[in-house]
């Protein structure tokens, strides 16, 4: 059924050549402190019990694995199952990681958390767990994203978080991360940085993946119980890549399972028109290995090595780099990555709404569009799990304007 996929790097925090810890000296000590605390938490039965208890009783796990019967019939190819992360408290997978890191912040004695957000879902999840645990919360968000995700801004403020608008750069996720890191380095003693994706310096890519890997573990057990076999394909959208790696991780050793990550193709293939870091085969330009915000991975950059502007209709996919583990999986050809245009994502959102009665987040709509694009090449023997990473409430303004 499977053959062993082994990370060739023995160095913690490395995925092949990718990953690492490329940060100023002032951040090395807090990152070492965080790494030690996380290693202890992994082996701490009380911490793990509290984490899994909150996943169940606060977040609402396990989430359903739903057979999408009408979408399956409409596409006429593979049997399609949806991993319903949209049913979680706060409306997306982000709460899984926020619970884990929030508890870690408490364990480390940090009364204040800072977070960044693009689509707003990680900001809402961070504000939610901060309120639940009695922590102060500050969320940094680009003003461009605040305008298109106004509902989530209101939710964060309702939960007691301070939302700080970022006017620098492209006023999107990359710039919000910069400001959150500046805050963290200024307030190291009291503040925990709750990073939202499999990005940044070690241990964040590994730690966030571990907290999100509950998605794939559940999906694996559920599909075996329902279909008595493993899926042939996994689909997930990829911004930083936490929902995708959360699904993929439990299947890495099962090489018969094809893993497909869908990036934001935006409105064109030229640099500045998309956020496709691994879409070189499709003609998307500008990505090559480089360092951004503490990690070595594929980064969209111009000829001089300056970080490029990006575009996506989806705030959560609008980021110039990809998580280092995804970069390694792409190089190893263990996972395939492809890009989907804004228009195709909008059409896929409408299709899911009208066939299954589910309005997906724009991020998740990219994964649906990727499956729609490939379904004609698949057969009725194929079995797909698609990670429906979030619900579409936050995107209704965009949908109502453009559809």
- Chain segment 164-188, per-residue pLDDT in tens: 999 988 788 888 988 999 999 999 9
Report the alpha-carbon distance of residue 368 to residue 68 in Å, rounded: 12
**Residue 67, helix vs strand vs coil:** strand
Report the alpha-carbon distance of residue 397 to residue 200 in Å, rounded: 31
Report the alpha-carbon distance of residue 191 to residue 33 in Å, rounded: 13
**Residue 342, helix vs strand vs coil:** helix
Q: Catalytic residue at 213?
A: no
Q: Catalytic residue at 116?
A: yes
User: Where does 198-334 show beta strands of DSSP type E?
Assistant: 233-237, 258-266, 287-292, 295-300
Report the alpha-carbon distance of residue 24 to residue 118 in Å, rounded: 24
Residues of the chain with pLDDT under 70: 1-10
* Residue from 264, 277, 269 nearest 330 by CA: 277
* Residue from 144, 146, 149, 97 nearest 125 by CA: 97
- 365: which residues sit within 8 A by CB, 6+ positions away? 237, 314, 345, 346, 348, 349, 352, 392
Q: What is the mean pLDDT of the chain?
A: 95
Q: Which of 126, 312, 314, 389 is catalytic?
A: 389
User: Where does 28-104 show beta strands of DSSP type E?
Assistant: 65-67, 79-84
Q: Catalytic residue at 94?
A: yes
Q: What digits encode the pLDDT tens for the residues 299-311?
A: 999 999 999 999 9
Cα-Cα-Cα-Cα dihedral of 267, 386, 92, 184, to 10°?
Answer: -70
| Domains in the chain: ranges and CATH | 15-57+94-208 (3.40.50.1100), 62-91+213-402 (3.40.50.1100)
Report the alpha-carbon distance of residue 145 to residue 140 in Å, rounded: 10
Q: Which of 116, 179, 218, 273 is catalytic?
A: 116
Specify the pLDDT at position 324.
98
Q: Which of 83, 94, 174, 394 is catalytic?
A: 94
Specify the pLDDT at position 3.
40
108 within 8 A of 141, measured Cβ to Cβ: no
Max distance between CA atoms of the chain, in angstroms, equals: 57
Specify the pLDDT at position 2.
38
Look up residue 341 and give its two tokens: 């245009």
Specify the pLDDT at position 217.
98
Residue 145: C-alpha distances to residues 167, 231, 344, 365 (Å): 11, 35, 21, 18
């Amino acid at each position: 059924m499977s053959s062993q996929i082994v990370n060739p790097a023995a160095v913690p925090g490395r995925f092949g050549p990718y990953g690492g810890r490329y940060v100023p000296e002032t951040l090395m000590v807090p990152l070492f402190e965080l790494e030690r605390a996380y290693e202890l938490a992994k082996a701490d039965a009380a911490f793990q019990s509290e984490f899994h208890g909150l996943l169940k009783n606060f977040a609402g796990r396990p989430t359903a694995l739903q057979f999408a019967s009408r979408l399956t019939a409409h596409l006429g190819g593979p049997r399609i199952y949806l991993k319903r992360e949209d049913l979680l408290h706060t409306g997306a997978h982000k709460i899984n990681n926020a619970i884990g890191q929030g508890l870690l912040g408490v364990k480390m004695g940090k009364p204040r958390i800072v977070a960044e957000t693009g689509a707003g879902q990680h900001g809402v999840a961070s504000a939610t767990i901060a309120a639940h645990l009695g922590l102060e919360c500050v969320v940094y968000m680009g003003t461009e994203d605040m305008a298109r995700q106004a509902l989530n801004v209101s939710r964060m403020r309702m939960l007691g978080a301070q939302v700080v608008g970022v006017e620098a750069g492209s006023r999107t996720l990359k710039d919000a991360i910069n400001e959150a890191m500046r805050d963290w380095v200024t307030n190291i003693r009291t503040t925990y940085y709750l990073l939202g994706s499999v990005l940044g310096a070690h241990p964040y890519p590994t730690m966030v993946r571990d907290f999100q890997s509950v998605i794939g573990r559940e999906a694996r057990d559920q599909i075996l119980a329902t279909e008595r076999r493993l899926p042939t394909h996994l689909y997930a959208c990829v911004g930083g890549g936490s929902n995708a790696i959360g699904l993929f991780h439990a299947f890495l050793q099962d090489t018969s399972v094809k893993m497909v990550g869908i990036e934001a193709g935006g409105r064109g293939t030229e640099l500045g028109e998309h956020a496709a870091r691994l879409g070189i085969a499709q003609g998307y330009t500008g990505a090559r290995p480089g360092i951004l915000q503490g990690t070595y991975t594929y980064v969209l950059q111009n000829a001089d090595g300056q970080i490029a502007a990006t575009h996506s209709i989806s705030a959560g996919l609008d980021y110039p780099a990809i998580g280092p583990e995804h970069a390694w999986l792409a190089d190893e050809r263990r996972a395939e990555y492809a890009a989907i245009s804004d228009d195709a994502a909008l059409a896929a959102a409408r299709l899911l709404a009208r066939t299954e009665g589910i309005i997906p987040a724009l991020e998740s709509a990219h994964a649906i569009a990727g499956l729609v694009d490939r379904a004609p090449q698949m057969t009725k023997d194929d079995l797909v799990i698609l990670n429906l990473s979030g619900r579409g409430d936050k995107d209704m303004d965009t949908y109502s304007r453009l559809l």
